[in-house]
Amino acid sequence: MLNRRSFLSFATAGAAAATLPVALSGMAHAEDKTRPAPHMMPIPADAPNVAILIHPGMVALDLVGPLTVLTILRCRIFLVWKDKSPIATELGFSVPPTHTFNECPNDLDVLLVPGGTIGTIAYMNDPVVIDFLADRGSRAKWVSAFCTGSITLAASGLLNGYDATGYWALTRFLPLMGARHVDQRVVVDRNRITAGGTTAGIDCALVIATKLKDEEAARRVALILEYSPQPPFHNGTPAEAGPERTQKALEHRKGRDAEVEREAMLAGQRLGI
């Protein structure tokens, strides 16, 4: 049970984490204890190391939701990319990587891959990206992805032989790279945690929180975020939307989905599947 002091401490952390620039500033100085970011709680010495792959064209919400959860949980976050050039999201604003692939720790508690179809198409057969994922993922305690990030993760071979899910329009391509698609919002198979489309990133991060800490810690984060979705209608899955709306959505995606399928087939061939 939370006492008043504990609740205020978590609420303060939550308010800070909800502001992306502040959270990024805190991560950039996570290892520099002489320069703590304002309003950020210190990162414990034994904090879990979490690497999040960011890439040009990524979906901003794919990053912000899980980043907020894991920052409140007081993880040590590494936003990783090939270099430290600002990463342009699909909304037009940019996010600076905190570490390059080479600077990312070799041994991670969590390797997390968010999504964004444009980036998925561009990087699922990029040898630099795939080699990084395969290397860090081979040793990470937990390997996780959601939205189209599950497709990128599958392209690295890390979902071969695992139950997995991802963005509903693309999950049909997971078997091309050896994964078994399971139609659930979050799927846990051994140390692999995958989840559905963009908003499922928060669910995914909360499941990760239960693995890194415990359910009570994850529940505290959910309370701080007041995470209790009540949409005005239920239309977020093909089952809820119905066949007509789902088909219309697929028609709008036809060109890019064909590109994903092409890259998935190439990845499957590269993986010998």
Q: Which is it for strands 192-195 and 142-146: parallel, antiparallel or unpaired?
A: parallel
Q: Any catalytic annotation for residue 204? A: no
Whether residue 97 is predicted with pLDDT greater than 90 in this model: the reply is yes
Picking from 2, 119, 138, 100, the residue whose alpha carbon sits closest to that of residue 56 is: 119
* 55-86 pLDDT tens trace: 999 999 999 999 999 999 999 999 999 999 99
Whether residue 35 is predicted with pLDDT greater than 70 in this model: the reply is no
Contacts of residue 165, Cβ cutoff 8 Å, sequence gap at least 6 = 150, 171, 174, 181, 182, 183, 184, 185, 186, 187, 194, 195, 196
Of the pLDDT bands very low, low, confident and very high (cuts 50, 70, 90), residue 33 is very low
Choose the weakest-confidence range: 9-13, 131-135, 262-266: 9-13
Whether residue 13 is predicted with pLDDT greater than 50 in this model: the reply is no
Whether residue 254 is predicted with pLDDT greater than 50 in this model: the reply is yes
Whether residue 267 is predicted with pLDDT greater than 70 in this model: the reply is yes
Q: Which is it for strands 110-113 and 49-53: parallel, antiparallel or unpaired?
A: parallel
- The token duo for 43 is 């990162």
Average pLDDT, rounded, for the chain? 89
pLDDT score of 52? 98
Whether residue 149 is predicted with pLDDT greater than 50 in this model: the reply is yes
Secondary structure, 3-state, 129-193: HHHHHHHHHHHCCEEEEECCHHHHHHHCCCCCCCEECCCCCCHHHHHHHCCEECCCCEEEECCEE
* 110-122 pLDDT tens trace: 999 999 999 999 9
Whether residue 163 is predicted with pLDDT greater than 90 in this model: the reply is yes
Of the pLDDT bands very low, low, confident and very high (cuts 50, 70, 90), residue 40 is low
Picking from 88, 83, 81, 86, the residue whose alpha carbon sits closest to that of residue 57 is: 88
Whether residue 109 is predicted with pLDDT greater than 60 in this model: the reply is yes
Q: Which domains does the chain have, with CATH numbers?
A: 4-270 (3.40.50.880)
pLDDT score of 27? 44
pLDDT score of 77? 98
pLDDT score of 42? 86
pLDDT score of 5? 44
Whether residue 89 is predicted with pLDDT greater than 60 in this model: the reply is yes
pLDDT score of 25? 40
Whether residue 16 is predicted with pLDDT greater than 90 in this model: the reply is no
pLDDT score of 228? 98
Of the pLDDT bands very low, low, confident and very high (cuts 50, 70, 90), residue 32 is very low
Tell me how far the alpha carbon of residue 218 is from its chain's centroid.
16
Task: Work out the end-to-end distance of the chain between its first and last CA atoms, rounded to an integer number of angstroms.
Answer: 50
Averaged pLDDT, 80-94: 96
DSSP line for 96-138:
--SEETTTS-SS-SEEEE---HHHHHHHTT-HHHHHHHHHHHH
* 164-196 pLDDT tens trace: 999 999 999 999 999 999 999 999 999 999 999
Tell me how far the alpha carbon of residue 251 is from its chain's centroid.
26
Whether residue 11 is predicted with pLDDT greater than 80 in this model: the reply is no
